[in-house]
Structure 1
């Protein structure tokens, strides 16, 4: 798993690239605060090496809770900036800070 951040000097946004290795999976998405936990809005593209990846522009100076949804299974990112307990999900969510 990996999170790559690229801050844009001309706009108050950060391009965040989320990637997760899931060679056996057929679908993957990143869901979180920044896309209303919508799997369709967070679809990741599968690369030839089995990694799923996508880049999203997130407003800077914020923190966002998120999780990966891989073939219906929720997965946290081991490279997350932090983790936060979520009462609704009764689980920890990954946190990315930009």
Structure 2
């Protein structure tokens, strides 16, 4: 799930990325990985909220599209099934999630 908050400035947007507990399928550790952090699988750890969903809020420059995925327990990749759109990945037949800000 994506929540976008443009606030007073239209230059950037605070985006909250959420991976629901049922989508995490028992994962203990989830990272948000994308072109905004050079696809570094350890750069952006997500945090479990009281409902058990994993969340992370980051600021992104407006007027851009950003590709991303979730990396669970250092083993598997998941898409955000509520992304703004999806694009093909250069790695096989998988797709990347896209947020448009």
TM-score, normalised to structure 2, is: 0.87
How many residues align structurally? 96
Give the aligned partner of residue 59 of structure 1: 61
Give the aligned partner of residue 77 of structure 1: 80
State how far apart, in whole Å, the 1-side matches of 2:42 and 2:48 are: 15
Aligned ranges for residues 1-98 of structure 1 at < 5 Å?
Answer: 2-10=1-9, 12-21=11-20, 22=24, 24-71=26-73, 72-87=75-90, 89-90=91-92, 91-98=94-101
TM-score, normalised to structure 1, is: 0.89
State how far apart, in whole Å, the 2-side matches of 1:5 and 1:11 are: 12
Structure 1: runs of 5 or more not aligned: none
The structure in which a higher percent of residues are strand is: 1
Higher alpha-carbon deviation: 42-51 or 28-37: 42-51
What's the RMSD between the two structures over aligned residues? Answer: 1.4
